[in-house]
Amino acid sequence: SAVISQKPSRDICQRGTSLTIQCQVDSQVTMMFWYRQQPGQSLTLIATANQGSEATYESGFVIDKFPISRPNLTFSTLTVSNMSPEDSSIYLCTGGFYGYTFGSGTRLTVV
Amino acid sequence: SQQGEEDPQALSIQEGENATMNCSYKTSINNLQWYRQNSGRGLVHLILIRSNEREKHSGRLRVTLDTSKKSSSLLITASRAADTASYFCATDPEIQGAQKLVFGQGTRLTINP
């Protein structure tokens, strides 16, 4: 199974700023997925990122708020834009056909 | 909206006892997976069961799948303090062109020494 590296592992950010989270896979994968886990909640899919095409966003998530890049088959970034305290969550990426290997997550706190 | 519903939401048992968690889902699936998460950290993949399988074992874990009832269960036998974590089921819906995991709400398991 793929190994996922994610960074930063945690950050504390001021409201109104943006944070870019990086996700690196140790093998080429067609699809990568970004999830959000709000405090005490389950995981919610933000978007699916295919290399060479625009990301597909789930209901409730928009590109202006969560722009995603997928420059190659082993890397993706998620930006959380114009942050507010409601964006405080753990953000996780995963990749692969079944997407069952997750990075350790980015714990974001917005103050 | 979440695909899966899990129960119980929280479970507290004594070390050595067995723990059973249940997951129900709404649509046809390709497979169902169980994950563990310790204290809000990353997810650890436990087991995957395909839609044409009924039961699967991995060490102290036993997973069953009943596609007619759209439900699955995770049994942890001879529980240990280290099993304390949140457990999530995740389904891979059988939707053409969609390859994504939809997570249940999770069960918070506490093993008391």
Nearest CB partner across the interface for A104, out of B41, B90, B106: B41
d(CA B46, CA B63): 10
Q: Measuring CA to CA, how many Å separate A69 from each of A84, A91, B41, B60, B68?
A: 22, 15, 24, 40, 40
pLDDT at res. B1: 44
pLDDT given for residue B12 in this prediction = 97
Q: What is the mean pLDDT of each run of 10 residues along chain B (113 residues)?
A: 75 97 92 89 89 96 97 98 95 71 93 95
Contacts of B29 (CB under 8 A, 6+ apart): B51, B67, B91, B92, B93, B94
pLDDT at residue B40, as a whole number: 67
A31 touches B: beta carbon within 8 Å: yes
Contact B18, B79 (CB under 8 A): yes
Are the beta carbons of A13 and A83 closer than 8 angstroms? Answer: yes
In this prediction, residue A98 carries a pLDDT of 58
- CA–CA separation, A18 vs A65, rounded Å? 9
Output the pLDDT for position B98: 60
Chain A residue closest in CA terms to B89:
A42
pLDDT value at residue A35? 95
What residues does A63 pair with on adjacent strands? none
The low-confidence residues of chain A, meaning pLDDT below 70, are: 1, 96-100
B-chain CB neighbours of A45 within 8 Å are: 100-102
Task: Give strand pairing partners of B66.
Answer: B71
